[in-house]
A and B are shown apart, each in its own frame.
Chain A
Amino acid sequence: QVQLQESGPGLVKPSETLSLTCTLSGGSMDSKYWSYIRQPPGKGLEWIGYVFSSGSTNYNPSLESRVTISLDRSKKQYSLKLTSVTAADTAVYYCARGYHTFDVWGQGTVVTVSS
């Protein structure tokens, strides 16, 4: 059974960098797209971007200047870095498999931006 698990700090200071890691278990990263999606409190879902198994990436144009997603196939992990965060980046962050259809999701991790 394919499972994803997010990990990382739950609190980030304004202007700093948010860093999260997603770990895959029970499956392979080969020939798949791996995305991050976020959900601010009480609001809808927003696709952040993906990394393909080859390492190629693509990002939501609204976040592109601040986002980097990278892959470590040996660890079966992929990571999100979001720079210069503000309170508007406070959200539940999910990792998910796919890039327009998301069939496997992590449980989500809450990240709060606050001093």
Chain B
Amino acid sequence: QSALTQPRSVSGSPGQSVTISCTGTISDLGTYNYVSWYQQHPGKAPKLIIYDVTERPAGVPDRFSGSQSGNTASLTISGLQTEDEADYYCCSYAGSYTALFGGGTKLTVL
């Protein structure tokens, strides 16, 4: 199992939208619709912000949205706010009751 592929960094200005991609293989993202996304601020534990590709847990703003096409999942953050600056990780079910994370993307809000 190799980690899912994410861009190392993305950036945007307040109010803009950014999209973070997460690319896997036919063995994980290409087969299963169990993609989740996590936001991690420095020194803090990750926080679930998207699950099952498109679903948001209670309390997560609708500025965060998820999608998937084939082997690639995406997280879009619209109306960027300064507090969105963080690391973002995707995760996919990889079969045989295992999970696989992406390498993480650092979002900078300029």
Q: Known interface pairs A100-B34, A100-B91, A100-B93. Does A47 touch B45 (Cβ–Cβ under 8 Å)?
A: no
Report B68-110 residues with CB < 8 Å from chain A CB. Answer: 89, 91-94, 96-104
Whether B98 contacts A101 by the Cβ 8 Å rule is: no
Tell me which residues across on chain A come within 8 A of B102, comparing CB atoms: 44
Tell me which residues across on chain B come within 8 A of A62, comparing CB atoms: 1
Tell me which residues across on chain A come within 8 A of B96, comparing CB atoms: 58
Whether B99 contacts A100 by the Cβ 8 Å rule is: yes
What's the Cα separation between A35 and B97 when bound, in Å? 12
* Interface class of chain A by DSSP: loop
Tell me which residues across on chain B come within 8 A of A106, comparing CB atoms: 45
Whether A47 contacts B99 by the Cβ 8 Å rule is: yes
Residue among B1, B38, B99 making CB contact with A99, cutoff 8 Å:
B99
**Number of contact residues on A: which range applies?**
20 to 34
Residue among A35, A44, A50, A107 making CB contact with B3, cutoff 8 Å:
A44
Asked whether A72 is an interface residue with its Cβ less than 8 Å from the other chain, the reply is no
Whether B51 contacts A103 by the Cβ 8 Å rule is: yes
Whether A58 contacts B45 by the Cβ 8 Å rule is: no
Residue among B1, B51, B89, B94 making CB contact with A45, cutoff 8 Å:
B89
Tell me which residues across on chain A come within 8 A of B91, comparing CB atoms: 45, 47, 100-102
Q: Known interface pairs A61-B1, A100-B36, A100-B91. Does A105 touch B101 (Cβ–Cβ under 8 Å)?
A: no
Asked whether B47 is an interface residue with its Cβ less than 8 Å from the other chain, the reply is yes
Whether A101 contacts B45 by the Cβ 8 Å rule is: no
Tell me which residues across on chain B come within 8 A of A61, comparing CB atoms: 1, 98
User: Which 3 pairs show the lowest CB-CB distances between chains A and B?
Assistant: A100-B93, A105-B45, A47-B99
> 16 interchain pairs (CB within 8 A)?
A37-B101, A44-B103, A45-B38, A45-B46, A46-B101, A47-B101, A58-B97, A60-B98, A94-B45, A99-B97, A99-B99, A100-B92, A100-B99, A101-B34, A102-B46, A105-B47
Which A residues lie at the B interface, using CB under 8 A? 35, 37, 43-47, 50, 58, 60-62, 94, 99-103, 105-108
For the A-B complex with A46-B101, A99-B97, A105-B47 known, give 10 more contacts whose Cβ atoms are closer than 8 Å. A44-B104, A45-B46, A45-B104, A47-B98, A58-B97, A100-B92, A101-B36, A102-B38, A106-B45, A108-B45
